[in-house]
A = this chain, B = another copy of it.
Amino acid sequence: MNAARLDLTFAALADPTRRAILARLASGEAMVNELARPFAISAPAITRHLNVLERAALIVRERDGQFRRCRLNPQALQAAREWIDFHARFWSESFERLDELLKTTSKPKSRKTHVRHKPHRR
């Protein structure tokens, strides 16, 4: 039911710059400064990426003097992880069921191989 949360998380992950920032943070906290270094984009652009990550709760920022310290919030990945894990498993099972069905069903001359959930009335 945390649809909005999932939206934020997946959207935040759907960008290579942001994923790279997360990957960097996985090896330890860092200042905005340092996070920006590897990228050829302006500081404001980095700030905005960090805003996106923070709104998705994937990172936490706190002031440290002149700097802003960024670190990961490991919990934030959980919802996304669960969604994907559940579906990955469920989808496979779904395919196994389909395979099973295809194996045990007699195949008449028809090329139709599908399962109708509700017949279409025409």
Contacts and interface: CB of A to CB of B under 8 A. Distances in A.
A72 B84 CA distance: 14
Chain A binding surface, main DSSP class: helix
Interface of A: 3, 6-7, 9-11, 13-16, 19, 22-23, 26-31, 33-34, 64, 67, 69, 72, 74, 77-78, 80-81, 83-85, 87-88, 90-92, 94-95, 98, 112, 114-115, 117-118, 120
A114 B29 contact: yes
Q: Which of A19, A26, A120 has the largest count of B CB atoms less than 10 A from its CB? A: A26
Given A26-B91, A31-B120, A87-B26, A64 B11 contact: no
30 contacts: A6-B13, A6-B14, A7-B15, A7-B16, A10-B13, A11-B14, A13-B83, A13-B84, A14-B14, A22-B87, A26-B87, A28-B115, A28-B117, A29-B114, A29-B117, A30-B117, A31-B120, A64-B112, A64-B114, A67-B120, A74-B88, A74-B92, A74-B94, A74-B95, A77-B87, A81-B84, A81-B85, A81-B88, A84-B84, A85-B85
